[in-house]
Amino acid sequence: MTETTTVTRDEILLDALRFNLRLLHELTMRYGVEAQPARNKDDRPTIDCPDDVWQLLAPEMAGLAQEQMRVLLLDSRRHVVGQRVIYQGNVCAIMVRPAEVLRPAVVAAIPHLVICHNHPSGDPTPSADDTALTRKLVAAAELLGIQIVDHVVIGGDRAVSLKEDGLMP
């Protein structure tokens, strides 16, 4: 007797959504498309604290089913001049190289950036891997004259700042 597997409509829709997200991510990376359109100079948000990052990114990132890493590109007055999706991971991990994270800042001659990623579990507590990656990124950024202002982890309805928690050099 063979066991039959039934695929529900919800599973088919989720598979289509995952495919579309991968495709959109690939197009975004390939053509350098920003997640949010450019704003007028007077309308650009300023990042002064982790709550500013939360207000800007949580509406999009808090409910994601997969980990995603983004960088906020900041000018010398910490106005957001751009946002890039760096990587779309799986449900529990992101594997990135420092060059991929820092490339948008180098290409656009940006002096400051904020790293942000989400935890689909809803718990924003930084993992040991998050802390280790942050240390590598800060060291690499220093060599390039770029300041990493913070690394913020969004999970559910909360966010954790690695800088505020003393987990960033």
d(CA 153, CA 119) in angstroms, rounded, equals 7
**What is the CB neighbour count within 10 angstroms for residue 140?**
16
CA pseudo-torsion sign 110, 103, 151, 45: positive
- What does the pLDDT read at residue 50? 96
Closest CA to 66 of 31, 14, 28, 129: 14
For residue 114, pLDDT beyond 70: yes
pLDDT digits (tens, 9 = 90+) for 56-109: 999 999 989 889 999 999 999 999 999 999 998 876 666 789 999 999 999 999
CB 90 within 8 A of CB 67: yes
> What value, to the nearest 5°, has the Cα angle with vertex 51 and ends 145 and 37?
70
CB 117 within 8 A of CB 94: yes
pLDDT digits (tens, 9 = 90+) for 126-151: 999 999 999 999 999 999 999 999 99
CA contacts within 13 A on the Cβ side of 139: 7
For residue 23, pLDDT beyond 60: yes
Confidence band, pLDDT 50/70/90 cuts, at residue 42: low
pLDDT digits (tens, 9 = 90+) for 149-167: 999 999 999 999 999 999 9
> What's the one-letter identity of residue 61?
M
- What does the pLDDT read at residue 169? 85
- What does the pLDDT read at residue 14? 81
Q: What is the mean pLDDT of residues 34-55?
A: 79
SS3 155: strand
CB 125 within 8 A of CB 23: no
